[in-house]
Amino acid sequence: MAVGNRRRRSAVAVVTVGAIFAFGAGLYGLNASGSWPFPSRYCWGAWEEDSGPSFLGEEALAKSGSERRSEESPPPSPVRANATCTLAVASSVADADSTHPLTFDERVVLEYRPVPAGAEERRAWMAHFFDGSASPLPDGLNGLVADDRAMLVLPDSCDADGRPSVVTIRSESWGDGHLGKKAMPFSIGSRMDVARMLVAAAEATMTKAGCTPGKPLRLTSPLAVTAEKDEPAAGTLCRIPGLTFEFGKGSAYQQQVGAVGQRLQTCSVVWRARGVPDEPAAQFVMAAEPRIVALFDGLPEGVGEGLVRATCDGRPTVFYGNVEPGLKVLRRPDDRQMFVKFVESVSKRIGCKVGEAT
């Protein structure tokens, strides 16, 4: 475990994505522990102290008793396809209702791996990273980013075990006191901050894995933020006729309409309650980018399985829908007809006839 330098400094280093990675390979390569006057580096050199979002800077250490720490697995390599790094900030404050302090733990988990092989695990992975809150990455980067999560599909040179490799970032946050351990919302930073962290992590891990493409990844264009806020799920989902549920009054289900484009459309539903992590309940995706389409390879196919393929304007395209058991009892009509309605609506919007679902 590498413990970050806790010295407070007034100057904040402004580092571009390219510089973050370049410094890791060069100037600061021999000072990864953060020995003064060198900044600490985290997650195999991907991220530098006092650069990017506030989570990497002094602001995150402003709470009482705060400290930053990181824990890394061995880095990815040509023979090691999985690697994980956790960067955490812990703090505590006095609890007026207890002799024990309130403790807080905010963390960012970085993972390099092929997408899960099993269908159930893959669907859970999809539910998290294709959440409607996430925006598509620009500049030909195949992935999505929100303020609390991000995913990037790596080039096929990084494929492992016949599956695409991905770099993901997700946040976790907990408060613990006399009321017990409670999950708390935690934003890593702005979407652009998180996107830059993601690209820097991808560059660092691909170098370790020996699968770096000929050109470096670049992130120069602004992000297109999803147009709609999350809202209570009621009646028709995702603005698509036929996706109808009987949620009832006071339902804890929230829906998020995400990207609605020619090559990507997302919408998600979660069950949300205070103090516990969101529980994914439904997911609907249309994707027509080859590397994103590849994420669905190996899943059971067919209308009854919630996955059909088509060629739309010469592009391989997937239509995907998954409804968890807790939400299925509220559906109207059945799963098959609901998925058919989704495919029909989206394929009509993008000008593509999907024969199997019509």
Q: Tens digits of per-residue pLDDT, 197-215?
A: 999 999 999 999 999 998 8
Per-residue pLDDT for 138 more than 90? yes
Which residue do the tokens 């294709």 mark?
130
Q: Once rounded to an integer, what is the mean pLDDT over residues 86-107? A: 86
Q: Tell me how far CA of residue 232 lies from CA of 91, 185, 252, in angstroms.
A: 33, 18, 7
φ/ψ of 297, rounded to 5, equals -60, 135
Which residue do the tokens 């339902």 mark?
251
Predicted confidence band of residue 333 (pLDDT cuts 50, 70, 90): low
pTM, full prediction: 0.84
Q: Once rounded to an integer, what is the mean pLDDT over residues 323-344? A: 82
pLDDT tens column, 267-309: 999 999 888 989 999 999 999 999 999 999 999 999 999 999 9
Per-residue pLDDT for 328 more than 90? no
- Say which residues have a Cβ less than 8 Å from residue 68's Cβ, sequence separation at least 6: 3, 4, 6, 40, 49, 60, 61, 87, 88, 89
Residues 201, 209 contacting (CB under 8 angstroms): no
Output the pLDDT for position 35.
Answer: 46
